[in-house]
Amino acid sequence: MKILLAIIAVLSFHCLICQAQAPALDLTFNPGMGIEPGGEVLSIFVETNGQIILGGVFDEFNGQGYDAVVRLNSDGSIDTNFFIGQDPSLGVTCVVAQTNGMILIGGGFSSVNGVNQRFLARLRVDGSLDLTFTPTISGAVSKILLVENGQFLITGSFTQVNTQSRPAIARLNSNGSLDPSFFTGITGGNLNGIAFDSSGNILIAGSIDVSTNQFLAARFFPNGNQDESFDPGPFNTGSLISIGVEPNGEIIVTGGFTSVDGYSRTGITELYTNGTVDPDFRPNDAINYGNLLAIESDGKMLMTGNDNLIRVNTDASVDSSFNPNVSSVDCIAIQQDGRLLVGGAFNSINGTNINGIARLQGDSLTPFQTQLLNMNFYAGMQLSGSVGAVYRIESTTNLATASLWSPVTTFTLTTTPFWFMDTNPINFNGSRFYRSVVIP
């Protein structure tokens, strides 16, 4: 074996000064190695106590065996009191916590921790499967939306719920039983987007049928009846990606379309509350808009576009001050303090190596010109090596004695250079030193 590189990390120094770039990476959030290469975070839910639940397609988190679901503390560390067990096959695409602390997960899975439970399941507060929750869903669940009374809506590619015909959308009671009073009349298709408007009506977007009429975006009353007054006109596409409601009540729809009701609209449009196109919202056709991920309190929209995470102003222009330089983003959760939790399949943000989950400073926080990097949280080393090679990181507190080098972790290098963060530095006064060793 060969020692490739050694870098000193001095823990007695309290901080490093870095130039901030909007949006700044929040360095108080430390997920360590995050998800493994090839994994993907598809859903983020922030609990009232500040803990964070992630759902997706992954087998490891920070080098430990956490399959498809993991709960983090507010600083990014793993909540070791929560463990789901074996991987839900095909991963988890949506995750939400009910008011009683139980956690609903949906996706394309067929089992959870070895128990046959398809497409929709509930976890107890410790991550174990709730065996009393046994709804039967005929196809994959893509979205879960909580209702204030404890009920919840699910959307996806299913056609039946608890043996009853419920194509693409259904409302369930808290215990998983079907609410028979909610029936939309949708006869098929796949719903990609769902949201509540300010009146509690349900907005949906996707590839769907109602009776014999094809449409792509619609509004339903809480009893499931379609609101016929909501008419966005035809989109020139067979599917939409997402739908959301701005603070002023207007509605944002995104997808692969290039026109809506005769208006030239590439990938994004704004609708009035009656569904008609807002002619003053004119997006730049040069922008390749994708999935609407979140709407901030000031009405700005966070979405994927041009292989980056972008923010669109309320006038449809792109916010040039927001450039995190990150691709493969699948989900965003906005914390109460305005900070942004970002999940996906990325391995860097603004040149900093961070895998699958990160937190960005939000505009609602006090502006600042520097970031303070606390070495007690971010001890480690930068490794420049050969992609595909196996390395072992070792550490010591005493350079004078060669036998005191201790292994920290072993991994295959997937990108170079790579910043390794030691998520469990020992508690001492003085310095800690790191080196990498090539494993033949």
Q: Which residues contact 364 (CB under 8 A, 6 or more apart)?
A: 297, 337, 338
Integer Cα distance of 105 and 140 in angstroms: 11
The pLDDT value recorded for residue 345 is: 95
Q: Is residue 49 over pLDDT 90?
A: yes
Mean of pLDDT values over 219-245: 89
Q: How many CB atoms lie within 10 A of CB 354?
A: 24
The pLDDT value recorded for residue 431 is: 67
- Residue of 192, 181, 248 lying closest to 216 (CA atoms): 192
CA dihedral 282, 285, 291, 294 (to 10 degrees): -40
Question: Over the stretch 83-138, which tens digit does the pLDDT of each residue have?
Answer: 998 766 678 999 999 988 999 999 999 999 989 999 999 999 999 999 999 999 99
Mean of pLDDT values over 304-322: 87
Integer Cα distance of 186 and 308 in angstroms: 34
Q: Which residues contact 304 (CB under 8 A, 6 or more apart)?
A: 289, 290, 291, 293, 310, 329
Output the CA–CA distances (angstroms, integers) from residue 6 to 265, 308, 352, in the order listed.
54, 34, 19
Mean of pLDDT values over 371-382: 48
Q: How confident is the model at residue 401 (pLDDT cuts 50, 70, 90)?
A: low
The pLDDT value recorded for residue 133 is: 97
Q: How confident is the model at residue 287 (pLDDT cuts 50, 70, 90)?
A: low
Q: Is residue 377 over pLDDT 60?
A: no
The pLDDT value recorded for residue 402 is: 58
Q: Is residue 306 over pLDDT 80?
A: no
Q: Is residue 231 over pLDDT 60?
A: yes
The pLDDT value recorded for residue 66 is: 93
Q: How confident is the model at residue 233 (pLDDT cuts 50, 70, 90)?
A: confident
- Residue of 124, 136, 220 lying closest to 177 (CA atoms): 136
Q: How confident is the model at residue 211 (pLDDT cuts 50, 70, 90)?
A: low
Q: Which of 6-15, 49-58, 171-180, 182-191 has the lowest mean pLDDT?
A: 6-15
Integer Cα distance of 33 and 392 in angstroms: 14
The pLDDT value recorded for residue 363 is: 60
Mean of pLDDT values over 245-268: 90
Q: Is residue 1 over pLDDT 50?
A: no
Q: Is residue 370 over pLDDT 70?
A: no
The pLDDT value recorded for residue 414 is: 78
Q: Is residue 14 over pLDDT 60?
A: no
User: In whole angstroms, what separates CA 244 from the centre of its chain?
Assistant: 16
Pairwise pLDDT comparison (408 vs 84), residue with the higher score = 84
Rounded to the nearest integer, the mean pLDDT of the chain is 83
Mean of pLDDT values over 262-272: 91
The pLDDT value recorded for residue 210 is: 63
- Residue of 265, 263, 353 lying closest to 312 (CA atoms): 265
Integer Cα distance of 88 and 69 in angstroms: 9
Q: How confident is the model at residue 374 (pLDDT cuts 50, 70, 90)?
A: very low
Q: Is residue 371 over pLDDT 90?
A: no
Integer Cα distance of 423 and 377 in angstroms: 7
CA atoms within 13 A on the CB side of 76: 26
The pLDDT value recorded for residue 436 is: 81
Helix (H, G, I), strand (E, B) or coil at 256: coil
The pLDDT value recorded for residue 321 is: 87
Output the CA–CA distances (angstroms, integers) from residue 154 to 91, 161, 285, 348, in the order listed.
17, 10, 33, 32
Integer Cα distance of 156 and 174 in angstroms: 19
Mean of pLDDT values over 185-210: 87
Q: How confident is the model at residue 440 (pLDDT cuts 50, 70, 90)?
A: low
Determine the Cα angle at 203 with ends 173 and 339, to 5°. 85
Beta bridge partners of 178: 172
Mean of pLDDT values over 421-435: 62
Q: Which residues contact 257 (CB under 8 A, 6 or more apart)?
A: 235, 236, 237, 240, 265, 266, 267, 269
- Phi, psi (rounded to 5 degrees) for 404: -90, 0
Question: Over the stretch 331-356, which tens digit does the pLDDT of each residue have?
Answer: 999 999 899 999 999 998 887 889 99
Q: Is residue 365 over pLDDT 60?
A: no
Integer Cα distance of 268 and 285 in angstroms: 10
